[in-house]
Amino acid sequence: MMVTASAGDDDATIEFVLALARALHRYGTPSHRLEEAVAVVCHHLGVTAELFATPTTIIVSFGAPAELRTRMMRVEGGETNLAKLADVDELADQVALGELSTRDGLAALEKITAAPAHWGRLVSTLVHGITSAAVAVFFHGSAVDVAAAAVAGLIIGTLGLFLSRTSAQTQVFELVGAFAAAFVSGAAARFIPGVSSQVVTIAALIPLLPGLSLTTAMIELATRNLISGTARLMSAVIVLLELVLGVAIGERAAAAAFAIPTNIAPVPLPWWAEWVALVAAAAAVTVVVQAHRRVMPWIMVACVIGVLGGRGGTIVLGPEIGVVGGAFALGVLCNLYARWLDRPAQVVLVPSVFLLVPGSVGFRGMSSLLGRDTITGVETTFAMFVVAMAIVAGLLIANATVSPRRVL
């Protein structure tokens, strides 16, 4: 993305722009939005700059073509932290409007980066169990399925707490977590009457599924950020394969250790349980993405509107394309939020779209392919891409209908 202004660059300004780009990437900003946000800041600061962002690299060139100063930064996919993302966005506005100097802005940016997470580790671990239990309700699980899913999700959250200490341990978290989910689900089905191991396994895996990464990749591809979108898409596919492999190993280990009953038909909970689960899931996802507490009511409302819109769209358009209705309603609400409160729409959009993304569909497709059920696997995997593209279409139409007037 190219930005041109008449004023020259200075070292402090360049240093601030680089730190801003790194911080936005670290806290989960998609490449196309990162490029646009940095471009806006550069324009206000009077900086001539070209920016290129991918999930692993940020390249920024400053100055006129004859005197370019280029910096390439190797970056890793950081945690999704929407509270810090909102703070960084507010700081960028202050610097762009001249309320803070670039040196003061750089110092404030370092404080935001060094600050502890908005939600502590204990709470972040506990919400894994709440999320898994809520998802078990959405999958029409019985009361014992919900309880077993909560325990399995809590175990995975605890594993994530211990496996986040080094990069080598972090790289095997999905594989180990999938193994634990399948093994614990098999053990629960063996010793607790009425537990469906399939429902519990998928519900426990929901926090690990890369549905949000898949949807972000499709958005980047749709906005012609082809390199970034392709890289993110392949990363999501690799995570799905790791989860499928971990589940396969866990299921076979559980089958070798226990006589697991099959063909358990869950007894669904009453209709109102889904709405209780939806509110609980919205609160839990707020913690998972580290959003501010003050945003939680907006996220809950957005989740309800997204689900209602998705169900209405399903009635009219069918189960795969119908999610476009939920994504459109969700996008309009988030853009109105950004207009009214002058805050990033991403803060509400990311956690609420979490409940729409097709991660479980992709997992089932990859599982079918691994089990050599090629036809079912291809059909389910294709359905995953259709659902993801329907979400992207709904969000893009919402942006064209109601502009958020903001980049993030």
Please, what is the angle between helix 346-353 and helix 296-317, to 10°? 50
pLDDT at 19 over 90: yes
Lowest-pLDDT choice from 160-174, 233-247, 348-362: 348-362
pLDDT one-digit tens code per residue, 354-390? 777 765 666 666 667 666 676 777 777 788 888 888 8
pLDDT one-digit tens code per residue, 331-343? 999 999 999 988 8
Whole-angstrom distance, CA of residue 311 vs CA of residue 322: 7
Mean pLDDT in residue range 262-283: 84
Lowest-pLDDT choice from 9-13, 117-121, 260-264, 285-289: 260-264
Beta-carbon contacts of residue 73 (< 8 Å; ≥ 6 apart): 18, 21, 22, 57, 58, 59, 60
* Predicted confidence band of residue 3 (pLDDT cuts 50, 70, 90): very low
Would you state the pLDDT for residue 17? Answer: 92
Instruction: Report which residue type is found at 53.
Output: A
Q: Where are the domains of the chain?
A: 2-114, 120-288, 291-408
Mean pLDDT in residue range 100-116: 90
Cα–Cα nearest to 173, from 237, 241, 242, 232: 242
pLDDT one-digit tens code per residue, 119-140? 888 888 889 899 999 988 988 8
Q: What percent of the chain has pLDDT over 90?
A: 29
Asked if 105 contacts 94 with a C-beta cutoff of 8 angstroms, the reply is yes
pLDDT one-digit tens code per residue, 287-297? 988 899 999 99
pLDDT one-digit tens code per residue, 172-222? 899 999 999 999 998 998 888 888 888 898 888 888 888 788 888 888 888
Q: What percent of the chain has pLDDT over 70?
A: 91
Cα(first)–Cα(last) distance of the chain, in Å?
16
Cα–Cα nearest to 350, from 282, 279, 276, 278: 282
Would you state the pLDDT for residue 369? Answer: 62
pLDDT one-digit tens code per residue, 386-403? 888 888 999 999 999 998
* Predicted confidence band of residue 7 (pLDDT cuts 50, 70, 90): very low
pLDDT one-digit tens code per residue, 304-313? 998 888 888 8
Mean pLDDT in residue range 243-251: 89
Average pLDDT taken over every residue of the chain? 85
pLDDT at 9 over 60: no
Whole-angstrom distance, CA of residue 399 vs CA of residue 377: 33
* Predicted confidence band of residue 146 (pLDDT cuts 50, 70, 90): very high
Which backbone phi and psi does 208 adopt, to 5 degrees?
A: -95, -15
Q: Indicate the Cα dihedral angle 92, 97, 103, 106, nearest 10°.
A: -10
pTM above 0.75, yes or no: yes
Query: How do the residues of the chain divide into helix, strand and coil, expressed in percent and rounded to 5?
Result: 70, 5, 25
Handedness of CA 4, 6, 8, 14 (dihedral sign): negative
- 198 membership: H or E segment, kind and range: helix 197-205
What pairing do the DSSP bridges indicate for beta strands 69-74 and 2-3? unpaired
* Predicted confidence band of residue 49 (pLDDT cuts 50, 70, 90): confident
Mean pLDDT in residue range 250-265: 80
Identify the bridge partners of residue 61 per DSSP, sorted by sequence position. Answer: 50, 70
- 327 membership: H or E segment, kind and range: helix 323-341
